């Protein structure tokens, strides 16, 4: 690999007359940088001044053929130091805030002067020099800043209250500069060196002091300042040829009250103290947003005690359900009374009241979310709900579920995969009924964003495989619009993750708006498959597998493409509005296929929708419809089509029977003129691929595509049949 070069770069090193600063200056110069060697030349307490120290270093650099100029200003006059760089070299690329002095006193004896001087040199000095360079960094879209902290700041040290305060303040300064500089390629890091220098010569034991050569730390600084290093906002500790990243960590903590309406008493704090201070699952919030997410998760848990986000105790392995849970779930996945055959999932007194088969995922998910083995599954990493995305799902229904019952689920992490940008956790969940019979098998695959790179394996033999879809065009497609409130309904079935409802939380988790539950989209797709290939009969369902490839937003329209291969129906689902594929590699395994090709269902039509969304243009036969002519008469939609501005025909959709006729109900419907809509054409028209057109075939009125319906399919659910 090429040597790290600083040719053409201009580096300002403060306090470069001796010790670490000198070491940095020499190494930068040896790698081609032009160096401003700043040193006030004072004593280690900040008294006096001299040009000697800086001059000597400049001399040494020049004698080796390097480029350097001295500067003798105090760091609190930062602009003068930067001006020296500009005057001599025309630019500035790197600022190393290294200058420092000591005024060690026990806390009781620190004078105002001791305090101010230390804060001035360390903190204000770093502020002034860095701020003077900042506009140049921004303009050239490059800059590197190092601030120098100390273990005395991170950990405290007797007799150094002023110095410790300044050193820790520098960490805060660096953290924020890293954030503000990010968009201009300005990196800022904290160095925590332990080196032999005049600040440490009488503090460190002699044996150790001799090993702590500044030259062993300077390479760390050079790397952090190189254009190829992306590290920013970090604290790097280095000494004696060793370096490590240091982080501020936070324990998992504990709620101090049970609900949002409770107050917190000192006794509550006392009683929870061991949990508050338990650092077993400590993690480092990467930024203030992550930290806030954690708080919001806690708050969410308080608002609804059944929703403690860290998948807490409130979730349970035992799942008791009745008709309300069954119906709520069906509503959550878009079952509708507008589809006659869906009524059995929605009405507890229906003669065939049934559980929609994918309801069988719910006990497993609730159990998995409560299982700490899963939240602790990734070695040395903890994560929170904002990182968790549902990745894949497999469900096998071994015995159809009754409409009420009590189920017990056992779940196990069977593999954890390292995918670099994320970790994949594979969990098997077996669900048993009250007699101990296994009724469901689920495999839940979770993608944990940002939790990879733990040197784990990349593939698993235990994961249920996705299917390869046939390469031919789909045999059938079903278009279905989700409600804007879809996630709000679905979550009530048990997955109360705020990602799906809370706009602030979703932004913090990296999404512009709340996203739909993967399992909700899965429910939609399985519904589509059952309508077409199982006559909507839940007992024909055996298993489903799918991958969630992209998030879906509530309100988007889903199109499920299906391929029939024996008892396996392959499917893939995309978003009509964006054309993005969201469910891939999917299949539903059926006990047997019942291809239902005899009915036309129109769902969720209403007059307002019809009136507001119809746009006709570019049609072959210049057939136009006037939306204002759409009327609802006796529960039946009637719409007129005009040709060349003259009434051409009246079409009628009877939502009860799902039939569409030519004719006005007032004048009497003529059933012999049934409108026929070809499945494929309908879908194509819904997607805007095909211009609506009317065709008369084989002597009887057969309409290939209906203008109104085609246009409306953008926002309607429908099942089309010959």
Ligand X SMILES: CCCCCCC[C@@H](O)CC(=O)SCCNC(=O)CCNC(=O)[C@H](O)C(C)(C)COP(=O)(O)OP(=O)(O)OC[C@H]1O[C@@H](n2cnc3c(N)ncnc32)[C@H](O)[C@@H]1OP(=O)(O)O
- Please identify every residue annotated as catalytic: 163
- Give min distance, CB of 587 to ligand X, in A: 16
- Give min distance, CB of 516 to ligand X, in A: 7
Considering only 391, 498, 554, 586, the residue that binds ligand X (CB under 6 A) is 391
User: Judged by CB under 6 A, does residue 84 bind ligand X?
Assistant: no
Angle between helices 125-140 and 161-181 (to 10 degrees): 10
Answer whether 235's CB lies under 8 Å from 229's CB: no
Considering only 141, 247, 458, 592, the residue that binds ligand X (CB under 6 A) is 458
User: Which of these ranges, 231-239, 245-253, 318-326, 445-453, lies near ligand X under the rule CB under 6 A?
Assistant: 445-453
Binding residues for ligand X, rule CB under 6 A, total 29
Helices (H), 90-236: 112-118, 125-140, 151-155, 161-181, 206-211, 218-225
3-state class of 396 per DSSP? strand
- Give min distance, CB of 323 to ligand X, in A: 25
Beta strands per DSSP E along 14-66: 34-38
User: Judged by CB under 6 A, does residue 517 bind ligand X?
Assistant: yes
Considering only 93, 342, 392, 396, the residue that binds ligand X (CB under 6 A) is 392
Considering only 499, 525, 641, 653, the residue that binds ligand X (CB under 6 A) is 499
3-state class of 282 per DSSP? coil
User: Which of these ranges, 90-98, 125-133, 196-204, 494-502, lies near ligand X under the rule CB under 6 A?
Assistant: 494-502
CA nearest neighbour of 357 among 588, 592, 593:
588
- Give min distance, CB of 612 to ligand X, in A: 30
Considering only 58, 129, 171, 369, the residue that binds ligand X (CB under 6 A) is 369
Q: Which residue is nearest to ligand X (CB)?
A: 391
- Give min distance, CB of 583 to ligand X, in A: 9
Considering only 294, 442, 497, 640, the residue that binds ligand X (CB under 6 A) is 497
Q: How far from 52 is each of 33, 55, 181, 488, CA to CA, in Å? A: 22, 5, 35, 72
And the tokens for 495?
């997955």
Answer whether 517's CB lies under 8 Å from 553's CB: no
- Give min distance, CB of 317 to ligand X, in A: 14
- Give min distance, CB of 499 to ligand X, in A: 6
User: Which of these ranges, 226-234, 383-391, 596-604, 655-663, lies near ligand X under the rule CB under 6 A?
Assistant: 383-391
Considering only 330, 444, 451, 703, the residue that binds ligand X (CB under 6 A) is 444
User: Which of these ranges, 13-21, 262-270, 492-500, 700-708, lies near ligand X under the rule CB under 6 A?
Assistant: 492-500
User: Judged by CB under 6 A, does residue 508 bind ligand X?
Assistant: no
DSSP structural state of residue 473: P
3-state class of 355 per DSSP? coil
> CA-CA distance, 430 to 444, in Å (whole number)?
11
Considering only 168, 243, 327, 368, the residue that binds ligand X (CB under 6 A) is 368
> CA-CA distance, 584 to 521, in Å (whole number)?
12
And the tokens for 210?
């001799």
Question: Which residues in the 542-561 window bind ligand X by CB under 6 A?
Answer: 547-551
3-state class of 176 per DSSP? helix
Q: Which residue has the tokens 């350097």?
A: 68
- Give min distance, CB of 571 to ligand X, in A: 16
> CA-CA distance, 322 to 402, in Å (whole number)?
9
Question: Which residues in the 556-585 window bind ligand X by CB under 6 A?
Answer: none
- Give min distance, CB of 538 to ligand X, in A: 23
User: Which of these ranges, 104-112, 280-288, 363-371, 616-624, lies near ligand X under the rule CB under 6 A?
Assistant: 363-371
User: Judged by CB under 6 A, does residue 310 bind ligand X?
Assistant: no
- Give min distance, CB of 413 to ligand X, in A: 10
Considering only 9, 128, 167, 390, the residue that binds ligand X (CB under 6 A) is 390
In this complex, which beta carbon is closest to ligand X, that of residue 31 or of residue 390? Answer: 390
Beta carbons within 8 Å of 345's beta carbon, 6+ residues apart: 326, 327, 330, 335, 353, 354, 355, 356, 538
In this complex, which beta carbon is closest to ligand X, that of residue 243 or of residue 445? Answer: 445
In this complex, which beta carbon is closest to ligand X, that of residue 359 or of residue 548? Answer: 548
User: Judged by CB under 6 A, does residue 293 bind ligand X?
Assistant: no
Beta carbons within 8 Å of 12's beta carbon, 6+ residues apart: 35, 36, 38, 81, 82, 84, 85, 92, 94, 95, 96, 129, 133
For 515, counting Cβ atoms within 10 Å of its Cβ (0-12 exposed, 13-18 middle, 19+ buried), the class is buried
In this complex, which beta carbon is closest to ligand X, that of residue 315 or of residue 345? Answer: 315
User: Which of these ranges, 335-343, 439-447, 608-616, 643-651, lies near ligand X under the rule CB under 6 A?
Assistant: 439-447
For 598, counting Cβ atoms within 10 Å of its Cβ (0-12 exposed, 13-18 middle, 19+ buried), the class is exposed
User: Judged by CB under 6 A, does residue 446 bind ligand X?
Assistant: yes
CA 716 to chain CA centroid, Å, is 30
User: Judged by CB under 6 A, does residue 421 bind ligand X?
Assistant: yes
User: Which of these ranges, 62-70, 206-214, 418-426, 590-598, lies near ligand X under the rule CB under 6 A?
Assistant: 418-426
Binding mask 153-182 for ligand X (x = CB under 6 A): ------------------------------
> CA-CA distance, 237 to 370, in Å (whole number)?
38
Beta carbons within 8 Å of 456's beta carbon, 6+ residues apart: 378, 379, 416, 417, 418, 423
Burial 219-252 (b: 16+ CB within 10 A, else e): bbbbebbbeeeeebbbbbbbbeeebeebeeeeeb
Residues found near ligand X in the complex (CB under 6 A):
311, 365, 368-369, 374, 388-392, 419, 421, 424, 444-447, 458, 495, 497, 499, 515, 517-518, 547-551
């Amino acid at each position: 690999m090429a040597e790290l070069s600083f040719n053409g770069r201009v580096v300002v090193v403060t306090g470069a007359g001796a010790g670490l600063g000198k070491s940095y200056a020499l190494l930068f110069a040896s790698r081609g940088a032009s160096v401003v060697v700043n040193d006030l030349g004072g004593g280690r307490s900040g008294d006096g001044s001299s040009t000697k120290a800086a001059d000597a270093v400049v001399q040494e650099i020049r004698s080796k053929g390097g480029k350097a100029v001295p500067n003798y200003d105090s760091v609190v006059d930062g602009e003068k130091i930067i001006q020296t760089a500009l005057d001599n070299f025309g630019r500035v690329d790197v600022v190393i805030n290294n200058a420092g002095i000591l005024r060690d006193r026990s806390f009781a004896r620190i004078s105002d002067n001791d305090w101010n001087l230390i804060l001035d040199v360390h903190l204000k000095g770093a502020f002034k020099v860095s701020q003077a360079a900042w506009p140049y960094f921004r303009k050239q879209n490059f800059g590197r800043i190092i601030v120098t902290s100390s273990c005395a700041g991170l950990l405290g040290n007797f007799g150094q209250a002023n110095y410790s305060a300044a050193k820790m303040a520098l960490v805060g300064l660096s953290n924020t500069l890293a954030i503000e500089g990010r968009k201009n390629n300005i990196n800022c890091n904290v160095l925590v060196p332990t080196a032999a220098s005049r600040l440490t010569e009488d503090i460190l034991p002699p044996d150790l002091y001799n090993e702590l050569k500044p030259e062993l730390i300077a390479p760390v600084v050079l790397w952090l300042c190189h254009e190829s290093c992306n590290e920013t906002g970090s604290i790097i500790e280095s000494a004696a040829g060793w370096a490590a990243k240091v982080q501020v960590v936070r324990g998992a903590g504990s709620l101090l009250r049970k609900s949002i309406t409770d107050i917190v008493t000192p006794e509550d704090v006392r009683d929870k103290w061991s949990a508050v201070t338990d650092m077993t699952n400590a993690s480092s919030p990467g930024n203030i947003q992550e930290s806030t997410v954690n708080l919001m998760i806690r708050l969410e848990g308080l608002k609804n005690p059944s929703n403690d986000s860290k998948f807490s105790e409130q979730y349970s392995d035992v799942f008791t359900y009745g008709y309300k849970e069954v119906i709520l779930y069906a509503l959550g996945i878009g079952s509708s009374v507008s589809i006659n055959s869906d009524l059995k999932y929605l009405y507890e007194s229906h003669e065939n009241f049934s559980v929609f088969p994918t309801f069988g995922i719910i006990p497993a998910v609730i159990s998995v979310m409560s299982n700490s083995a899963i939240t602790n599954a990734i070695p040395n990493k903890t994560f929170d709900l904002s990182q968790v995305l549902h990745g894949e799902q497999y469900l096998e229904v071994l015995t159809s579920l009754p409409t009420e019952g009590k189920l017990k689920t056992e779940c196990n992490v069977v593999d954890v995969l390292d995918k670099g940008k994320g970790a994949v956790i594979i969990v098997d969940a077996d669900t048993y009924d009250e007699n101990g019979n296994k009724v469901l098998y689920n495999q839940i695959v979770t993608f944990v964003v940002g939790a990879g790179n733990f040197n784990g394996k990349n593939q698993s033999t235990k994961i249920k495989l996705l299917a390869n879809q046939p390469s031919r065009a789909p045999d059938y497609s079903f278009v279905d619009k989700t409600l804007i409130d879809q996630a709000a309904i679905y979550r009530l079935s048990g997955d109360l993750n705020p990602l799906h409802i809370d706009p602030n939380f979703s932004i913090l988790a990296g999404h512009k708006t709340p996203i739909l539950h993967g399992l909700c989209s899965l429910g939609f797709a399985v519904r589509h498959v059952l309508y077409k290939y199982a006559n909507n009969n839940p007992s024909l369902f055996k298993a489903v597998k799918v991958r969630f490839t992209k998030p879906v937003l509530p309100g988007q329209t889903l199109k499920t493409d299906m391929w029939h291969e024996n008892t396996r129906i392959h499917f893939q689902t995309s978003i009509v509005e964006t054309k993005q594929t969201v469910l891939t590699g999917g299949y539903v395994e059926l006990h047997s296929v019942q291809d239902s090709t005899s009915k036309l269902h129109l769902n969720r039509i209403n007059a307002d929708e019809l009136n507001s969304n119809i746009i006709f243009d570019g049609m072959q036969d210049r057939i136009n419809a006037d939306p204002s002519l759409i009327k609802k008469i006796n529960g039946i939609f009637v719409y007129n089509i005009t040709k060349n501005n003259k009434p051409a025909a009246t079409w009628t959709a009877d939502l009860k029977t799902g039939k569409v006729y030519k004719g006005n109900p007032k004048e009497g419907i003529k059933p012999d003129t049934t409108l026929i809509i070809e499945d494929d054409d309908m879908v194509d028209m819904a997607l805007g691929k095909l211009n609506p057109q009317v065709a008369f075939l084989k002597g009887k009125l057969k309409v290939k595509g209906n203008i109104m319906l085609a246009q409306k399919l953008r926002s309607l659910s429908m099942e089309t049949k010959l």
